[in-house]
């Protein structure tokens, strides 16, 4: 290898190494600094409070939920995709350059004499310009498709946002209800333990039998598993909340609420719910956009049957020389300029274009059927939730009345038991009836909260009418 070629080779190697080092340095600089666990905990405590309300939990989920973050990243990706499709309508300008070093220049013989052609250095530098003039409407159709995909990505993000809100509300209501159930069952355990102590005194005083004492011990033992199970469900619900908020499972956070958070909203009529769902449900809009996109893609493929016309222009500098590596001596050089039109049109491709068009038309028909099915399915889901809402309201009213009656009965029998006018069995049954009434009431409240959260999700309405 000649000295000049070696220099060229070394120069290329140096450039490549420098470029790689620069990229690597940028990548390293972009990495977040490593932090100690203590530092991370301090940062986390400053970002997330120890106590949060339901609405604060919703806002935190909007900011930190991974699914929602990814949904808006997809929207940002769709923005870039739209910009890409717009670029096809603009002129395409490219700069090109080429260099070669002839180690052994080509030669041939004429009448026994050797003739060498070419130069030690050959290079070209030029610019090429292309502009689509006509393409059967494919450029504009592609832009239209990208626009609809962009809008669809936005509604997908809104759909994810509504789903996150629904999930947060369901988890928070579950936490509230499980805490109340735990308080009821724990209080019941304490009451049963107090009665056990009282029954022990009555047994030692000869007032009650050993059988009564054993019965009360069994009731205490039976009350403990429910307390343990409810507490576990309560803690697991907090894990679901932390997961949705993208928090560490060991991070301590407490949900706080007031009576207004538990106020039962007044639901709109069924017809109003239908109207809200048809207007606001992101999934319906996404389904309609999918049909429109499929229709545009069929139009795009039909444009393939039309010719494509491009305006092209080229300006090139061509040089040859036998001088040094960096062309101190340029013996030959010239400019070349061309401009014109290119025309291309498919004539026969074995039925490929017709097949693609048919496929896209089938995709369009499928998307339309899916859109119609989505309209029907949403109406069914709305009506189902509405029926469940009415059911939950009736159950809550009935269990509420039963709870009041059970409490009055329990309080009356408790006084009679102290006076010896009621038996332990009577008191136990009354207490059991009261606990059942309370749990049924809480179950009805929880069902109603969940149904309302689901209706908000189905209708795309953030808050239902609470007037």
Query: Is residue 136 left, alpha or beta, with left meaning phi > 0 and alpha meaning psi from -120 to 50?
Result: left
What count of other Cβ atoms lies within 10 Å of the Cβ of residue 271? 8
- C-alpha separations of 391 from 384, 394, 467 in Å: 11, 5, 21
Cα distance between residue 262 and residue 172, in whole Å: 11
Angle between helices 210-244 and 138-204 (to 10 degrees): 160
Nearest to 127 by CA among 319, 326, 335, 331: 335
Three-state SS sequence of 84-100? HHHHCCCCEEEEEEEEE
Query: Is residue 327 left, alpha or beta, with left meaning phi > 0 and alpha meaning psi from -120 to 50?
Result: left
Nearest to 344 by CA among 313, 375, 315, 308: 308
155-158 contact pairs (CB < 8 A, 24+) = 155/282, 155/285, 155/286, 155/289, 156/71, 156/74, 156/75, 156/282, 156/286, 157/68, 157/71, 157/72, 157/74, 157/75, 158/282, 158/460
pLDDT of 18: 41
Any alpha helices (H) in 132-209, and if so which ranges? Answer: 138-204
pLDDT of 287: 95
CB 275 within 8 A of CB 72: no
CB 304 within 8 A of CB 344: no
Q: Which residues contact 135 (CB under 8 A, 6 or more apart)?
A: 303, 306, 308, 309
Beta bridge mates, 98? 124
Beta bridge mates, 122? 100, 320
Per-residue pLDDT of the chain (467 residues; tens, 9 = 90+): 445 444 433 443 344 344 443 433 343 333 334 334 444 444 444 466 788 988 899 999 999 899 999 999 999 999 999 999 999 899 999 999 888 877 777 777 777 777 777 677 788 889 999 999 888 888 999 999 999 999 999 999 999 999 999 999 999 999 999 998 998 888 888 888 887 888 888 788 887 788 878 888 888 898 899 899 999 999 999 999 999 998 888 888 899 987 666 667 677 889 999 999 999 999 999 999 999 999 999 999 999 889 989 999 998 888 777 665 544 445 567 888 888 999 898 888 888 889 999 999 999 999 999 999 999 999 999 999 999 988 888 888 888 888 889 888 888 888 887 777 887 778 778 888 888 888 888 888 888 888 988 998 998 876 555 44
What count of other Cβ atoms lies within 10 Å of the Cβ of residue 391? 14
DSSP string, 217-247: HHHHHHHHHHHHHHHHHHHHHHHHHHHHTT-
- C-alpha separations of 455 from 102, 155, 157, 166, 170 in Å: 77, 18, 19, 9, 12
pLDDT of 39: 40
Q: Domains of the chain: which residue ranges? A: 1-31, 90-134+308-344
CB 362 within 8 A of CB 411: no
* Torsion sign across C-alpha atoms 180, 183, 189, 191: negative
pLDDT of 323: 61
Nearest to 181 by CA among 460, 442, 411, 419: 442
DSSP 271: H
């Amino acid at each position: 290898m000649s000295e000049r070629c070696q220099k060229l080779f070394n120069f290329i190697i140096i450039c490549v190494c420098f470029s790689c080092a620069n990229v690597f340095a940028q990548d390293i600089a972009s990495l977040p600094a490593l932090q100690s666990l203590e530092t991370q905990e301090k940062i986390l405590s400053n970002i997330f409070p120890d106590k949060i309300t339901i609405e604060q939990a919703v806002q935190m989920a909007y900011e930190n939920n991974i699914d929602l973050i990814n949904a808006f990243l997809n929207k940002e990706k769709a923005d870039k995709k739209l910009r890409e499709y717009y670029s096809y309508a603009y002129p395409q300008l490219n700069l090109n350059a080429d260099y070669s070093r002839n180690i052994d220049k080509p030669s041939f013989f004429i009448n026994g004499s050797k003739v060498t052609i070419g130069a030690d250095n050959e290079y070209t530098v030029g610019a090429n310009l292309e502009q689509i003039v006509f393409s059967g409407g494919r450029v504009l159709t592609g832009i239209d498709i990208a626009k609809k995909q962009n809008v669809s990505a936005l509604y997908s993000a809104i759909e994810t946002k509504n789903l996150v809100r629904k999930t947060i509300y369901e988890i928070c209501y579950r936490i509230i209800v499980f805490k109340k159930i735990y308080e009821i069952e724990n209080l019941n355990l304490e009451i049963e333990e107090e009665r056990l102590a009282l029954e022990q005194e009555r047994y030692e005083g000869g007032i009650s039998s050993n059988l009564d004492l054993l019965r009360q011990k069994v009731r205490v033992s039976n009350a403990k598993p429910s307390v343990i199970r409810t507490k576990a469900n309560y803690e697991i619900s907090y894990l679901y909340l932390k997961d949705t908020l993208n928090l560490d499972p060991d991070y301590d956070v407490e949900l706080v609420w007031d009576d207004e958070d538990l106020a039962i909203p007044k639901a709109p009529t069924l017809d109003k719910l239908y109207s809200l769902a048809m207007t606001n449900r992101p999934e319906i809009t996404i389904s309609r956009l999918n049909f429109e996109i499929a229709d545009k893609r069929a139009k795009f493929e039909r444009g393939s049957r039309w010719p494509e016309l491009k305006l092209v222009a080229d300006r090139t500098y061509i040089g040859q020389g036998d001088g040094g590596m960096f062309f101190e001596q340029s013996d030959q050089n010239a400019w070349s300029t061309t401009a014109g039109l290119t025309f291309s049109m498919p004539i026969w491709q074995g039925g490929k274009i017709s097949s693609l068009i048919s496929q896209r038309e089938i995709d369009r028909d499928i998307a339309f059927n899916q859109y119609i099915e989505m309209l029907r399915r949403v109406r069914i889901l709305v009506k189902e939730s509405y029926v469940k809402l009415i059911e939950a309201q009736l159950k809550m009213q009935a269990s509420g009345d039963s709870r009041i009656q059970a409490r009055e009965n329990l309080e009356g029998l408790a006084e009679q038991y102290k006076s010896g006018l009621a038996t332990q069995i009577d008191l136990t049954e009354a207490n059991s009836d009261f606990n059942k009434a309370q749990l049924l009431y809480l179950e009805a409240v929880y069902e109603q909260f969940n149904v309302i959260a689901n209706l908000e999700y189905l209708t795309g309405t953030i808050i239902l009418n609470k007037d």
